[in-house]
Every structure is written in structure tokens, then in C-alpha cells.
Copies of this chain bind each other. A is one copy, B any other.
Amino acid sequence: MILTVTLNAAVDDTYEVPDARTGEVNRVAAVHRRPGGKGVNVARVLHGLGHDVVAAGLAGGAAGRQIEEGLGSLGVPASFTPVAGESRRTVTIVGPEVTMFCEPGPAVTAAEWAAFQDGFETLARDAGVVVLAGSLPPGVPPDAYARLTRLAPGPVILDADGDALRLGLAGRPDVVKPNAGELARVTGIGDTAAGIRALRAAGAAAVVASLGADGVVAATPDGLLRAALDRPVPGNPTGAGDALVAGLAAGIADGLPWPDRLRRAVALAAGAVRSPVAGEIDASAVPSFLPHVTLRTEENHAARPHE
């Protein structure tokens, strides 16, 4: 079983407002509503691929019920710890431009966080891989991901930003998946290879840096690998990062070596870009992308053996 953790799960609302105008009252032409948060998105992709997955996290209030009901109707097994606060919503306005508004999330009490950790410890025992992904709601300690990583007996993938990522590294996660912006923010280094080295020095056993259309650069025990598609994929990049993480988790669960893990993850991300619906995957297109993922070994100085 693959366990995903979404401490700041969300109801993701997308509003189609073709002629949206700032400073006005806008009628929303269509509303799309789905359970979200990075870990929830990863769980959805894995479930869609036929993997045995459990989506865990914190959920509260009307939005929390919508998250659990939404996962239920998708058939994704969920195990959320209840919180008294209201889970967050995100609202994305799709008009002449795409604008997103993200609520901060519920205030989590120490007792709720303790209850989550107890449940997590039990679930993680049965997990072949644990995915820790997304932001932390108010009240959850900033080193939450380090604590959870230490509680998990198996491999952990961490996908976060800012302090949640920086302090999470102390838990020595097996794989960290930053994008270019997250890598630069957490290390203060603009160069990808140097940033990856800094993440490894801070505790990450392996790093997979996602670079959008340029694919990924991965510092692994097999060396520094670069995987990318040999052709551009037109579409919507929303959700590609979550699909990439799902591919890495699936690769670990299936015992694939690093090169095959990366190939599959990059092909899955391309399937997310290709899908007409943001955050969904065009699974039928994924096999056709696989032969077009090129893999090459980079100069070796950024790689070091798995400790």
C-alpha cells in the first residue's frame, strides 16, 4: 500500500469566468469542484493507475466533509483525522488570466496533531511508500515532515516548499521532489545541480528536481540522471508535479530501478499535461510517451552514494 499524507487538504474550486474583471461583480459561468491538496492529488493518480493507496491527512468542517465525500465517490480509500476547524478551499478563476486564491487552512490543535501522528504511525507500518506533500496548516509544527519521516519505517517521498521542506530535510527523507522555484527558495541557490547538492547535504537521500518542459534532474545512488521527453507536449501543466510524484511512488512500490522510475514518472507527468482537464491524467497517452523519454547521465559531481 502507498500512503499519501495531506495535512492541508483542500476543496479545489475552479470558476470559469470568461470575462472576469477586477473591481466588478462577476457571474461564474461554470463551477468545477474536487478534493485537492498535493497528497490527495497524488492518491487520485495512483488510484487511477490501479495502485493500492490510502489518502490520509487532516479534515474538518463542511470542506472536510466535501473532501472525504469527493474521495469516496472516486473510490479512493481515505483515512482523515478530524479537526474542529474548517478545511481550506482554493478558488481558481479561469478567465483572460488564471488567478488562484488559497485559504490558509484550519487552526490545528496540539491534540489533533498528536491524534494524526498516532494514526499515521499505524498506517505507515503497512505502507510500502509514504508520500508527504503540500503545505502545513496553522498549528502543525513546522518540522512536521521530519517527525513523520522518522515515524515511517519505509521509504518516504517529500514534496513541499519553504520551511516545511527545509525543516523536513532533517528527517532524512528518501526522495525529495522540488521544482525549480522550491529548490531555489529553500537553498538560496539558483543553479540546479548546486541546489540539489545542498538538499542532499541537508538530509535528502535522493533529489528529483522537476524543471517543467525540461524534464527532471535526479541525484540518485545511480548517479546524476536527467530524464526528459524528446518532444514538447502541449497542454496544461497543472497537476504534472503531482503526477511525477505519483510515478516516483509507484516506481518504488513496484521495485523499479531509478532509470525506469524516472522514465515512468516523466511519462505520467506528460499524461497530466496532455489531459484536457487540469489535474487529471490522460492515462491512455502514458504508454505512448514512455519510448520518448530520453535518459542520460550527467557529470557525476552532484551525485554521491546513498548513505
Contacts and interface: CB of A to CB of B under 8 A. Distances in A.
A27 B97 contact: no
A91 interface: yes
Interface string A8-41: 0000010101001111111111010100000000
A281 B65 CA distance: 32
Nearest to A67: B62
A72 B216 CA distance: 52
A103 B28 contact: yes
A24 B91 contact: no
Given A22-B22, A63-B62, A65-B62, A101 B91 contact: yes
Contacts of A27: 102, 104
A97 B23 contact: yes
Interface string A41-70: 000000000000000000000110110000
A99 interface: yes
A98 interface: yes
A102 B28 contact: yes
Contacts of A21: 99
A242 B141 CA distance: 44
A66 B61 CA distance: 9
Contacts of A15: 91, 101, 103
A17 B22 CA distance: 13
The complex is assembled from copies of this chain, and their number is: 2
A256 interface: no
B98 A26 contact: no
Contact of A23 (B28, B33, B91, B98): B98
A277 interface: no
A143 B33 CA distance: 30
Interface string A67-89: 00000000000000000001001
B24 A100 contact: yes
Interface in A91-133: 91, 93, 97-104
A98 to B, nearest CB: 7
27 contacts: A13-B89, A15-B91, A15-B101, A15-B103, A17-B101, A21-B99, A22-B22, A22-B99, A23-B97, A23-B98, A23-B99, A24-B100, A25-B102, A26-B100, A26-B101, A26-B102, A27-B104, A28-B102, A29-B104, A31-B103, A31-B104, A33-B86, A62-B62, A62-B63, A62-B66, A91-B101, A93-B101
